[in-house]
Amino acid sequence: MAVPERVVTNADLEKLVDTTDEWIVTRTGIRERRMAAPDEALTDFALPAADRALEMAGVAGTDVDLVICATVSPDRIFPATSCAVQDHIGALDAPAFDLSAACTGFIYGVALGAQFIEAGRARNVVVVGGEMLTKIVDWTDRATCVLFGDGAGAVVLQAAAEDDRGVMGYALHADGSLGDLIERPGGGSRAPISHEMIDAGQHHITMRGNETFKKAVRRLAEVSEEALAGCGLEPLDVDWFIPHQANRRIIDAVGQRLAVPEGSTYVNVDRYGNTSAASVPIALDELNRAGRIQPGQTVLMTAFGSGLTWASAVVKW
C-alpha cells in the first residue's frame, strides 16, 4: 500500500463544513483520512504500491505480463493509469488497462487476473486498486466530503504450486439500473467539460447515501455467501473477512447477517475513510505486514460500489 502523508481529522472538517466529529464517528466510524497534496496524483501512490508488492513477491517488474489498475479517479481520463504502472515497473510490451468498477474494482481485478493465469495467458499479474477521491468530492457537501480518502494498494498474482492455494473462487455482480445512486455525472461524453457543467457542480461525486447503505448491506452479505459456497465453504470457515471500508455501520450490519467468526472482520475505516478501490488492498496489506494472516488461512474479500457493482473473492493464503 501507499497513502498520502497528510492526515485530515474530523476536527479539521468541522472548520470546513457544518459537521461534528460526533456525527461523523457515530454515522460512519471514520475518525481521519489521508489526503493527497495539490501536486500529487494517483500514480504517486499506485507506482510505489506496485513496487512494494513486487518486492514482497520477489518478482521483477520485467517478468510481469499483465497490469490492471482499478480506479475511477485516474491521473488523466486517458491514457490508462495502468500504462504508467507498466512503464514504471519495466513490464515491456505487457498489456495494461484500467478497470472501472468503483469500490468493487480491486476484486473485479483480482478475478480477472486469476482468469488470465488459469487460462495460461499470464504468469505474473499486477493488480492495483487506487483512488484520489478527495480530488473529486464537493468540499461544500457535508454529506459526501467527510466520507472519502486517498491511497493505493497492489498485489502480484502468480500460479500457485499447490491446487488448494490462491484465489479459490469469486462472485461478481452489477446492476446498472441503479447507476445514479453514486455517480460523477460530468466530464464524460454525456456532460462534457464546460463552464456550465462545472457551475452546476457535475464534476463532483454525488451519492444517495441512505439508499446506497441499504443496498450495500444486503448485497455484501449475499455475495460473500455466494463466493464461499462456490468454494464449498461457509462463513464460519473464514479466518479473515476484509469488507470494503465504507462505513463502520455497514460492516457491523454485514457481520451480523454473515456470521463470520468473532474477531475475524478487519476494520480500518476509522483511519482511512472510504478509499474506494484501494480499501480492500490497503486492509490486506496492513493485515499481512502485521503477520496476522497465516499460510493456509481463508481470506474473504468483499466490496460494493458505484455501478452498482458488488463482488467477493475467496483466497486461501
Interacting residue ranges for ligand ACO, rule: CB under 6 A: 19, 23-24, 27-28, 102-103, 142-143, 146, 182, 209-210, 212-213, 216, 246-247, 250, 274, 276, 305-306
Neighbours of 121 (CB within 10 A): 12
Closest separation between CB of residue 76 and ligand ACO, Å?
Answer: 19
Known catalytic membership, residue 274: yes
Closest separation between CB of residue 103 and ligand ACO, Å?
Answer: 4
Known catalytic membership, residue 231: no
Closest separation between CB of residue 142 and ligand ACO, Å?
Answer: 4
Q: Which residue in the shown chain puts its C-beta closest to ligand ACO? A: 209
Active-site annotation holder among 10, 69, 103, 247:
103
Known catalytic membership, residue 103: yes
Neighbours of 93 (CB within 10 A): 7
Q: Pick between residue 274 and residue 298 the one whose CB is nearest to ligand ACO.
A: 274
Nearest to 151 by CA among 306, 54, 42: 42
DSSP class per residue in 11-63: HHHHTTSS--HHHHHHHH---EEE---TT--THHHHHHHHHHHHHHHT--GGG
The residue with cell 490486506 is 284
Closest separation between CB of residue 26 and ligand ACO, Å?
Answer: 9
CB under 8 Å to 128, separation ≥6 — which residues? 46, 49, 50, 67, 68, 69, 70, 71, 81, 82, 85, 109, 152, 153, 154, 281
Q: Pick between residue 179 and residue 296 the one whose CB is nearest to ligand ACO.
A: 179
Tell me which residues are annotated as active site.
103, 244, 274
